[in-house]
Chain A
Amino acid sequence: MNVTERYKKNLMVSNEDGMTKAMESVKTIVYSTDPRDMGLVRKSIPCQNACPAKTNIPGYIRCIHEGRYGRSYELNRMANILPGVLGRICSKPCELFCRHGESDLGKSVSICSLKRSAADLKSPLHRIMEGLYSPSGKTVAVVGAGPAGLGAAHELSVLGHRVVLFEAFDKPGGMLMYGIPEFRLPRDVLMLEVENILRLGVVLKTGVRVGRDISLDELLSEFEAVVITTGCPVPNRLNVPGEDLENVYPGLEFMERVNRGEKPYVGKTVMVIGDGFTAMDCARSALRLGATEVKINIRKTEEYMPIDDLEKHEVKFEKIRFYSLVDTQRILGENGRVTGIEFLRTKLEYSPSPPYRTASVMPDSEFIVPADSVIVAIGQRPEPSGVSASIEADGSRIRTVKDRFSTNIKGVFAAGDCMSGASNVISAISRGRNCALDVDEYLTGRKRKIQVVRLESVPSTDRDRSYDFIPRTPMDTLDFDQRVKPGNPEVEKGYTAEQAADESKRCYLCSLVYTIDTSRCIYCSACIDVAPRDCIKMAEDVPVMEDGSLSAVTETKKWNRVAAIAIDNERCIRCGKCYEVCPMNCIHVTKTELIELNIED
């Protein structure tokens, strides 16, 4: 039953005092898989919809508001087993879509920093919750202990399977351990959350490279399923003259060495080439190795860099400069060592696919800049053949069945960057977890978990309208001098409880969905008069989309065509003003949450 039908059904019976059933049944809870309700959640809660792991963001922010940090952490953990890690380094796709960030509403909520605050502020003796299933007697090998492998191993363990995690390096974490530097992610935070996964009985075997130390066939004979989560270990090359000179480093190799505690030579002037996470980390690490002039050279402009503004700000704060609209032609050297780079200037040109711009070089625009070292961080790619020659690939990515995780080999699955190409940590975790559900179905012959929408009638918001005008709370960071001290101290300091409380107040709690009961509405338009923006509309129709969900309302300005006054939950900021003024009490509030249910309960 969808939310509209439910109201209709409840409304059929009116009590003597005129109260409808819907209004009376404040605590009614309904679970729905109706595409209209699924669609409602997608549109109502844009942050959650943008999160690859579909984290219940308004839910966990509300818990922080109430000071329930442990509960907030657990709500996170249901979707993503590394909240303390992600609260520090997530690429934050959610914040791009946060309603508070719409141009007339200010800045998005600091969703990610709040996630970190729940991890930081919860009790150190906090209780971890796991919905464990009985042991299945099945065994699964997971190859690669990065975010995808950890996500898969955790979910498989929860589902009762015996998991062995094979990792080529000597520590788990994948790029969290060997890519991302410690000043962004302290290793004790990472290891604590990894430990919480291993505690479920996952056996971790480090220093084992599958394809070299043990073959895929051997794994298949020992385990009932194998999950490959080997990430993107091969750095892309520029393919320009001079790339093999001494002191030219592939970005990934540079970060691996730095994260092992080595100090690769960088000299004073460092040229980094690339515009993503890796390039930023290389530049910031080079600075900490003693470089005095670090430049990040990009082909397009800052606007098209795949990192967020905060990260750019931190890079600039460390006196690292972006050099935009340049393309590397060759790396120059003397006696085998780098002395400089020759660039050509580029210009932006339209391209039909996102992000809609390419850079083309301008003829005769060459110029040379000096450099003591060059770090080439222009992305990395998977190498499935390293694991086994018989795995089929699309280009370098492991090929899986459309929208699923099984490969061409029976019992072998793949997840994370090795099948998607280089992405980000939250996508890798989410894919690892979803892959585990596929493996579980393969092993048990049935689906055991489903996603449903939980609908609960609730009173209107208790947020004060003044909360909407609180500015975004920036996170305090170390001063420059402290950043470059030995020991790679963490740059971001985290929120204090007061800062977290302030920031949590800003969330509109978009999971509250406001609807008008049209059978009681007298079209007085009192709600429209108090509305803070064009959130309440005179609707002519609500078309149904191909997937069964409802599209945005078709508005009309002609009264004779108005079929209903409707609240547009994509525009609504949940201020509750309409609820307060409606003379007929016909505005209802429903908390809508996407949750996972165990089918067999």
Chain B
Amino acid sequence: MPSNDHYVIIGNGPAGNHAADVLRKNDPDARITLLSNESMLFYYKHKLPALIKGTIGDTELSVKGARDYKEKNIRLRLGQEVERIDPRENRIYLKHMEIMSYTKLLIASGASPRVLPLVSNFAKHLKLFSSFTDALNQIGDIRNGRRYLVLGGDLVSFKFVRMLKSMGKEVDCLLYPDAFWPFTLTKDMAEAVNKSLTKDGIRVLSNDGLKSMNQTCEGIDVVTDNGYTATFDSVYAFLGMVPNISFALGSGIDTDRGILVNDHLKTNFNNVYAAGDCAQIYNPDIKSYWLSVGWKNAAVQGAVAAENLLGAGYVITPSPKSILSVEGFTVDTSWWENFD
């Protein structure tokens, strides 16, 4: 019997796309709509630095082309932002005033860079970077600038620092071991990072913090707690990610830091699931809630959520661990894929 379901997926990242493929394979007749507030096709986020450098173009950035969606009869709607969900009425409100109905919903809206309270005094001077849109908006400034400060509080920051350095920029990196994301940077790890970056001509500021920032016609004058003073073209903050869930707040779908889901990735509504960087799950092994992080996890969760939307009832387990080596230290991780 042909399916009457309309699956709507919010998010065109690895979680959303893996889910769409699984749904199509198992439910050939259903309507599937994939929504994204970005205008770019599904792309590799880890290749964004290469795009800025100019070593790759748009085509190499994208994971797959528009034809793939057509062939699979998946409706891809780009540049359309979800503003609100009404899970009781099975409706989604889009920013351009359209209301869309679904029978089953997957939230795979990922995460965005966060501005920690630690630096909120300086929020207006900080640039954030995590998407193709950010890359488009900032590519000109980055290519033309000379000197940058990077607040190094997460794994992506090191990639960004490396990118700037390889473009011939002068780079300072202020390390935030205590606020590091998604794990705490131990003293040994911080020392390893310091060594690894310093070796390549990057000035690392350790055990320091921001004291003041002022925009002048020369750039941004920065003074640190330890009294280090310098002027930068831009200051980039990489202090971890926070799930994109504002459209779900107050909707009745339970949220905490992310969308709260059980070990089947189901929210408190039977026909609403969440997967990838936006999902928050209780993990009995560590006796704590955790937020999914990284490409690999997102892809696995997207596929499992789709299977469960189809009725499979799979329990999500963390992917097998592998060794990730970053700037002179290694961690045993099940989430971050080593693309380099």
Q: Which residues of A contact B (CB under 8 A)?
A: 103-104, 301-303, 316-319, 324-325, 345, 347-348, 350, 357, 362, 364-367, 479-480
> Of all chain B residues, which has the CB nearest A367?
B287
Chain B residue with the shortest CB-CB distance to A104: B97
State A51–B137 Cα separation when bound (angstroms): 45
Query: With contacts A345-B282, A348-B268, A365-B287 known, is A319 near B117, CB below 8 A?
Result: yes
20 A-B residue pairs with CB within 8 Å: A103-B84, A301-B255, A301-B260, A302-B256, A303-B249, A316-B117, A318-B117, A319-B117, A325-B256, A345-B282, A345-B289, A348-B260, A350-B268, A364-B284, A364-B287, A365-B282, A365-B287, A366-B287, A367-B287, A479-B121
Q: Which residues of A contact B260 (CB under 8 A)?
A: 301, 347-348
Contact with A along B263-284 (1 / 0, CB 8 A): 0000010000000000000101
Residues in chain B near residue A345, CB distance under 8 A: 282, 287-289
Q: Contacts of A318 on B, CB cut-off 8 Å? A: 117
Report Cα–Cα, A317/B256, bound state, in Å: 19
CA distance A348 to B256 in the complex (A): 10
CB atoms of B117 and A347 under 8 A apart: no
Q: Check B288–A367 contact: CB distance below 8 A.
A: yes
Known contacts A103-B84, A357-B254: does B287 contact A319 (CB below 8 Å)?
no
Interface presence of B118 (CB below 8 A):
yes
In Å, the complex CA distance between A479 and B257 comes to: 26
- The answer to whether B250 has its CB under 8 Å from any CB of chain A is yes
CB distance from B115 to the nearest CB of A (A): 11
Query: Nearest Cβ in chain B — how far from A353, in angstroms?
Result: 15
Q: Does A347 lie within 8 Å of B282, measured CB to CB?
A: yes
B322 within 8 A of A: no
Asked if B214 lies at the interface with its beta carbon under 8 angstroms from chain A, I say no
Instruction: Give the shortest distance, in Å, between A297 (CB) and chain B (any CB).
Output: 13
- Cβ contact within 8 Å between B284 and A301: no
B174 to chain A, nearest CB (A): 17
Chain B residue with the shortest CB-CB distance to A347: B282
Separation of A19 and B117 alpha carbons in the complex (Å): 62
Kindly identify, within residues 116 to 169 of chain B, every residue whose CB is under 8 Å from any CB belonging to chain A: 117-118, 120-121
- Give A204 to B66 CA distance when docked, in angstroms: 78
Task: Establish whether residues B282 and A480, one from each chain, have CB atoms under 8 Å apart when the complex forms.
Answer: no
Residues of chain B within 8 A of A104, CB atoms compared: 97
Which of the listed residues A301, A357, A366 has the most CB atoms from chain B within 10 Å of its own CB? Answer: A301
Q: Report chain A residues within 8 Å CB of B93.
A: 103
A319 contacts across to B, CB distance below 8 A: 117-118
* Bound Cα distance A213, B284 (Å): 57
Contact of A325 among B120, B268, B289 (CB under 8 A): B289
Whole-angstrom distance between the alpha carbons of A303 and B251 in the complex? 11
How far does the alpha carbon of A348 sit from the alpha carbon of B282 in the complex, in Å?
12
Which interface class (under 10, 10 to 19, 20 to 34, 35 or more) fits B?
20 to 34
CB distance from A489 to the nearest CB of B (A): 16
Main secondary structure of the interface of B (DSSP, over half): mixed
Q: Are A301 and B117 in contact (CB under 8 A)?
A: no
Cα–Cα distance between A359 and B92 once the two chains are bound (Å): 28
Complex formed: what's the CA distance from A479 to B289 in Å? Answer: 32
Residues in B neighbouring A362, C-beta threshold 8 A: 282
1/0 per position for B218-262, CB-CB distance to A under 8 A? 000000000000000000000000000000011000111100100
Q: How far is the CA of A357 from the CA of B260 in the complex (A)?
A: 13
Q: Tell me which of B256, B282, B289 has the highest count of chain A C-beta atoms within 10 A of its own C-beta.
A: B256
Residue among A303, A317, A365 making CB contact with B284, cutoff 8 Å = A365
Measured CA separation A348–B269 after assembly (Å): 13
- Chain A proximity of B189: nearest CB distance (Å): 21
B259, chain A: closest CB distance, angstroms? 11
Once A318-B117, A479-B121 are accepted as A-B contacts, the answer to whether A348 and B254 lie under 8 Å apart by CB is: yes
Which A residues are in CB contact (< 8 Å) with B84?
103
Task: Decide: A317 and B120 in contact? CB cutoff 8 A.
Answer: yes
Assembly CA distance A231 to B117 (angstroms): 35
Residues in A with CB closer than 8 Å to B120 are 316-317
- Nearest residue, chain A, Cβ from B118: A319
**Complex: how many Å from CA A357 to CA B97?**
30
* Nearest A residue (CB) for B211: A481
Interface core residue of A103, A104, A347 (most chain B CB under 10 Å):
A347
Q: Give the most central of A302, A325, A367, A479: most B CB within 10 Å.
A: A325
Residues of A near B288 (CB, < 8 A) are 345, 367
- Min Cβ gap A370→B in Å is 15
- Please give the distance in Å from A111's CB to the nearest CB on chain B: 20
Contact (A303, B250) CB under 8 Å given A345-B288, A364-B284, A366-B287: yes
A303-B117 contact, Cβ under 8 Å, with A325-B289, A350-B268: no
Knowing A316-B117, A348-B260 are in contact, say whether A301-B287 is a contact too (CB < 8 A). no
Q: How far, in Å, is B320 (CB) from chain A's closest CB?
A: 24
How far does the Cβ of B297 sit from chain A's closest Cβ, in whole Å?
21
Measured in the bound complex, the distance between the Cα atoms of B118 and A521 in whole Å is: 60
Q: Which residues of A contact B254 (CB under 8 A)?
A: 301, 348, 357
Give Cα A367 to B283, complex, Å.
13
User: Given A316-B120, A324-B256, 14 more contacts at CB 8 Å?
Assistant: A104-B97, A301-B254, A301-B255, A302-B256, A303-B249, A303-B250, A317-B117, A317-B120, A319-B118, A345-B282, A345-B287, A347-B260, A366-B287, A367-B288
| CA A357 to CA B252, docked complex, whole Å | 10
- Tell me, rounded to whole Å, the shortest Cβ–Cβ distance linking A356 to chain B: 8
A302–B249 alpha-carbon span in the complex (Å): 10
Residues of A within 8 A of B121 (CB): 479-480
In the complex, how many angstroms separate the beta carbon of B113 from the nearest chain A beta carbon? 16
Q: Which residues of B contact A302 (CB under 8 A)?
A: 256
Question: CB within 8 Å of A: which of B24-58?
Answer: none
Residues of B within 8 A of A479 (CB): 121
User: How many angstroms between the C-alpha atoms of A25 and B318 in the bound complex?
Assistant: 75
Contacts of A301 in B (CB 8 A): 254-256, 260
Give chain B interface residues in 77-104, CB to chain A under 8 Å. 83-84, 93, 97
Docked Cα-Cα span, A572 to B254, in Å, equals: 32
Q: Report B-chain residues with C-beta under 8 Å of the C-beta of A365.
A: 282, 284, 287
Residues of A within 8 A of B118 (CB): 319
Name the B residues within 8 Å of A325 (CB-CB): 256, 289
Q: Which residue of A lies closest to B248 (CB)?
A: A303
A359 nearest CB across to chain B (Å): 11
Q: Tell me how far the C-beta of B143 lies from the nearest C-beta in chain A, rounded to whole angstroms.
A: 33
Q: How far is the CB of B136 from chain A (nearest CB, A)?
A: 25
Quote the shortest CB–CB distance from A196 to chain B (angstroms): 37
B148 to chain A, nearest CB (A): 25
What 6 A-B pairs have minimum CB-CB distances, sorted nearest first?
Answer: A301-B256, A365-B287, A348-B254, A316-B117, A319-B117, A324-B256
B-chain residues with CB within 8 Å of residue A350 when the two chains form the complex: 268
Asked if B287 contacts A303 (CB within 8 A), the reply is: no
> For B287, what are the chain A residues with a Cβ–Cβ distance below 8 Å?
345, 364-367
A164 nearest CB across to chain B (Å): 47
Residues of B within 8 A of A357 (CB): 254
Nearest CB in chain A: distance from B98 CB, A: 13
A340 to chain B, nearest CB (A): 15
B80 to chain A, nearest CB (A): 17
**Contact residues of B between 280 and 296, Cβ < 8 Å to A:** 282, 284, 287-289
Question: Can you name the residue of chain B whose Cβ is closest to the Cβ of A480?
Answer: B121
A364: chain B residues within 8 A (beta carbon): 284, 287
CB distance from B100 to the nearest CB of A (A): 16
When distances are taken between beta carbons in the complex, the residues of chain B under 8 Å from A366 are: 287
CB distance from B117 to the nearest CB of A (A): 5
Q: What residues on A are CB-neighbors of B83 within 8 Å?
A: 103
CA distance A301 to B268 in the complex (A): 14
In chain A, what residue has the closest Cβ to B121? A479
A129 to chain B, nearest CB (A): 41
List, in ascending order, chain A residues with CB within 8 A of B257's CB: 324
Closest beta carbon of chain B to A290's beta carbon, Å: 18
A318–B121 Cα gap in the complex (Å)? 10
Q: Which residues of B contact A303 (CB under 8 A)?
A: 249-250, 255
In the complex, which of the residues B120, B255, B287 has the most CB atoms of chain A within 10 Å of its own CB atom? B287
Cα distance A186–B266 in the bound complex, in angstroms: 48
Q: Using Cβ atoms and an 8 Å threshold, which residues of chain B touch A347?
A: 260, 282
